[in-house]
Every structure is written in structure tokens, then in C-alpha cells.
Amino acid sequence: NQMNNADNESVDRRTNTKNPLINCPLTKPLATAITIFSLAITTLSTNPQPTQAADYGAFTDEQRFIAEAWRTVDSVYIDRTFNSQNWFQMRQDAIKKKYNNINEAQAEVEKMLSTLGDRYTRYLPPAKYESMVNAATGNLYGVGVELAQSGDRVIASDVEPNSPASRGGLERNDVFVGVDGVKFDDGKATPDDVAVVVRGPEGSKVGVVVERDGKKIDYILTREPIKITSVRSYMGGDKPGVDGKVGVVRIKNFSGTTADTVKEQLEDLKKKGAKNIVLDLRGNPGGLLPGGVDTASLFLETNKPVVFVADKNGVVDAQSTFKDGIDLETPLVILVDGNTASAAEVMTAALQENKRALVAGEQSFGKGIVQTIRQLEEGKNGGVAVTIARYETPEHHNINKQGITVDVKTNVDCEKTDALACLPKEAFRKI
């Protein structure tokens, strides 16, 4: 159960992280988990926020919690109109109310953030916040299944080899109906919601109900430490109509080490005779933005634009390559699907718009914004995920809610171990 998500949000415990421009999930990807929902690009700040109201000390615990949540969002949120509403008045109204317990205050914060009209800016209850932190810091105990959004359902987009899920019999595209008595069949569940319940103490049991071919199947699985293999490669062999053998590098999410791993896998494939390379990004929800930027740079000449990131003040960080990559000539194809998002889209757009790769598959997810995760009350009352920046492609396209248009439309349902089965020879044409 992986966490990138939808929220693929990564967590950074550094202090003094002002306006961090790093991606998320879960992320990630982190030698962690992925909640594949196309997650967010994130960091965690543990800095206490300064108080602003003279009467802060007179607040109840619940009112202080609400004031801190409001202030945290106010300090970094990218939309300074706050969805064209009186954001300060909303704070005043919220802290004037009387709350019987912290649960009522948490519900008030959730309601307040929902008015922003941004699904990625949200309150994270303690269990969800802790789950994200544990996933990003490697303390992950689960069953080894990647989760993705498919319409109003949460499905298994992949199953990690030799994991409890794999050994137990879970399969790709299984639909999650319930976990440990918590139902997820109301059409409102996200991969993040499912992941929080699936994870738990090492060695503990978890009951999973999935739907497959119209039938419900129950599994009892034992949670184990899960190490996600985020990069894999294999020789795809010969493809009729394609000049030379094809090597495939599958990237499941981006972390700070992804570029180095891809470089190693690329060199290995070339030693095995690969004359064409496929980068399989199906189901990749993103992860750390620098991971996507660095991986794209492996294939680009110096001084090529990769991405533009704009913060709440409109300040644009133009990120370009600073040296030639290691491979500027090998024919390159990127395979994407509707769950390819965030940092994965950054890399895809960079290579497509710099005329370095052809993109095949289907329209990508369309997540062009960056999140940070901030704890509340030292994490004991959860935290908030907040959108802090947006990015544009090298040609200044805003792909948020739009996605990347592919050069060659293809089926994307082939096995994750056989990307060539999805690709017609047209995908390997010269750019």
C-alpha cells in the first residue's frame, strides 16, 4: 500500500523549510509507499508558527488548534484570493464558536479548507498524517499493493513481487471493497483512505475484501515491512518494424535516487544490446519533483528548460539542465496512462517538448501543482496538506486538470512486465 497521492506525498523533516518546491508521497517515492492517486509533491515542516493574535492565550485548546491550522494555510497557500472569499472572516467566525471536543474542531478545519475548492489542500487526521510520515520515512508495514483511482473506485494498480499481497493472491485491477470492516464501496474513497487502513503494526493481520470479475473475494494478510522497488528494467527483445532491440525501464515513482538508478539500469540495458529505450511511467503518481527533473536531465543537452515552478508570490523558478545528459541519441519512447501524474508528467513534458522522446499511451492525469505537508500541534492533531506552487512545462503549458496529450495513442493495459505489447511500431518513429 503505497503512498504517493493521490496522494504521492513525500515528507521532509528538515527545519526552516520555507516555500519548499519538492514533490510528494508519498513522495514519495521514496523508498516508501505509494498511494497512487497522482499525488502531490510535498514536504513536511516542523517549524512552529508564530502567534498573531493578542488574545491567543485566552483561546480554548480547540480554538488554538483551529487558529494554528488557519495560520499555517494562510502563510503558504498559492491562491491569495482563497477562492474569492473572505478568508480572515472565516477564521474569526471559526474561533468564536464553542467546541465540545477536539473532534468538532477537526471537523471545523476540514470544513474550512473544503471551501477553497482545492482537493489537494486538506486536513489530515492524526492516523492519516502519521501514515504519510511513516511511509515517507521508511517505517512502512503493509501488504505490498499499489493503489490507484479508477473512476469512483480504488483498484490495485500493481502488486509488489514476493509481498503478502502477491503471496496471498491479490491481483492487478482488483477493486477494493473493504478493509478490516471499513467499507470503500460508496464511490467516495481515495487510495489514501484505503492505504491508511491497510497499513498497521508489523506482523498484524488485515482483512481485505476485493471485487474481481463481479465476485467478492476475502483475504487475510499479514503486514510486513515493505520496500518498494521503484525502478526496474528488462530487455523487451525485438519489435517487428523497429530497428534494433528494445530495453525497458519502468519507473514507479520518483525519489532523490531515481536518476542514479535509471542511469545504472540504462547502462546495463545498453550492454545487453538495447538500441531503443522505453520509459514505462504507467501508474507513476509522481514523488519528488527533483527526482523527475534529474531523470529528464539524463537525456537532455545542457541549457534545456525542464520545468518552471511559480510560488504564491508569482516568483518563477526556471529549472534547466546544467550539463549534457548521459544519453542524447538513443531513440526514446515514454509510455503513460491516466494515472501518470505530477513529477512523472514533469519528466514526460520535458522530454516531449524538447523533442527528445515520443510519448505513447493515453492522456496523463494532469497534476501541475505542488503541495507541502505541515504538522499541527507537533503532529498530535494531525496536519494539513497545502498547495504552495504550480508548474509549467518547457513551452509554458499549464497541464493541471488537462494532462499531457500523447503523440501516439495506444492501449495501456498490457502487463507491467511487457510494455512492448502496448506499443505499435509507430511509437518508435523518428522525431
Q: Does residue 320 have an active-site annotation? A: no
Q: Is 5 a residue whose pLDDT tops 60?
A: no
**Closest of 31, 229, 50 to residue 135, by C-alpha:** 31
Q: What angle do CA 241, 244, 248 make, to 5 degrees?
A: 100
Band of pLDDT at residue 191, cut at 50, 70 and 90 = confident
Q: Long-range contact list for 89-98, CB < 8 A, 24+ apart?
A: 90/115, 91/66, 91/67, 94/66, 94/70, 95/59, 95/63, 95/66, 95/67, 98/60
Q: Is 45's pLDDT higher than 70?
A: no
Q: And the C-alpha cell for 179?
A: 478493509
3-state secondary structure of 23: coil
Peptide bond into 29 cis (omega under 30): yes
- Residues with Cβ within 8 Å of residue 135, at least 6 apart in sequence: 2, 3, 11, 25, 26, 27, 28, 30, 32, 33, 35, 195, 199
Active-site option among 28, 239, 304, 367 = 367
- Report residue 310: phi and psi, to 5°: -115, 130
Whole-number mean pLDDT of the chain?
85
Percent of the chain with pLDDT strictly greater than 90 = 67
Q: Which grid cell sits at 313?
A: 508570490
246, 239 in Cβ contact below 8 A? yes
pLDDT band at 123 (very low <50, low <70, confident <90, very high): very high
| Predicted local confidence at residue 56, as pLDDT | 58
pLDDT band for 9, please (50, 70, 90 cuts). Answer: very low
* pLDDT exceeds 70 at position 317: yes
> Considering 75, 342, 380, 416, which one is annotated as catalytic?
342
Please say if the pLDDT value at position 330 is more than 90.
yes
Q: Which of 58-67, 83-92, 131-140 has the lowest mean pLDDT?
A: 131-140
Separation CA 417–CA 280 (nearest Å): 10
Is residue 85 pLDDT above 50, yes or no? yes
Strand ranges (E), 76-183: 122-124, 141-142, 145-150, 153-159, 175-179, 182-183
Using DSSP, state whether 127 is helix, strand or coil.
helix
| 275 catalytic per annotation | no
Pairing of strands 145-150, 175-179: unpaired
Name the nearest CA neighbour of 253 among 154, 339, 149. 339
- Residue 8, pLDDT above cutoff 70: no
Non-local (6+) Cβ contacts of 15 within 8 A are 45, 46, 47
Measuring CA to CA, how many Å separate 339 from each of 5, 222, 281, 357?
Answer: 11, 28, 9, 19
Q: What is the mean pLDDT of residues 329-346?
A: 95
User: Is the CB of residue 177 less than 8 Å from the CB of residue 153?
Assistant: no
How does residue 12 score in pLDDT terms, banded at 50, 70 and 90? very low
Question: Is pLDDT at 39 greater than 80 in this prediction?
Answer: no
What radius of gyration do the chain's Cα atoms show? 22
DSSP of 399-415: -TTT-PPPSEE----S-
More confident residue, 248 or 257: 248
User: Is the C-alpha dihedral spanning 132, 135, 139, 143 positive or negative?
Assistant: positive
Tell me: the pLDDT tens digits for 93-105? 999 999 999 999 9
Of 411, 412, 389, 385, which Cα lies nearest the Cα of 400? 389
